[in-house]
Amino acid sequence: MVIITAPEPGAEIARGTAVDLLVSKGPPPVPFPMPTLVGRPFDAVQEELRQRHLFFSRRAL
């Protein structure tokens, strides 16, 4: 599975330009249903994400 490209997606390049691909050797990702988190208390959301082994960060807007 391709993880990242250089140049970035959508970039216009000349014909013959080299394109770098970073390809994962790991297993393909397994999709899962994202729970509804909007409107829930942060502590409850944090705990649910931890139980699902998901990473998160908190930013003030």
Ordered per-residue pLDDT tens for the chain, 61 residues = 898 999 999 999 999 999 999 999 988 888 888 889 999 999 999 999 999 888 888 887 7
| Tally of CA atoms within 13 A in the half-sphere of 24 that contains its CB | 8
What is the tally of structural domains in the chain? 1
Question: Coil, helix or strand for 47?
Answer: helix
30 within a domain of the structure (yes/no) = yes
56 within a domain of the structure (yes/no) = no
- pLDDT of the residue at 52: 87
- pLDDT of the residue at 59: 81
60 within a domain of the structure (yes/no) = no
Residue 20's domain spans which residues? 2-51
- pLDDT of the residue at 40: 96
- pLDDT of the residue at 14: 95
Instruction: List the beta bridge partners of residue 2.
Output: 23
58 within a domain of the structure (yes/no) = no
Amino acid, res. 24: S
Name the H helices within 1-61. Answer: 42-51
CA separation for the pair 45, 25 (Å, rounded): 32
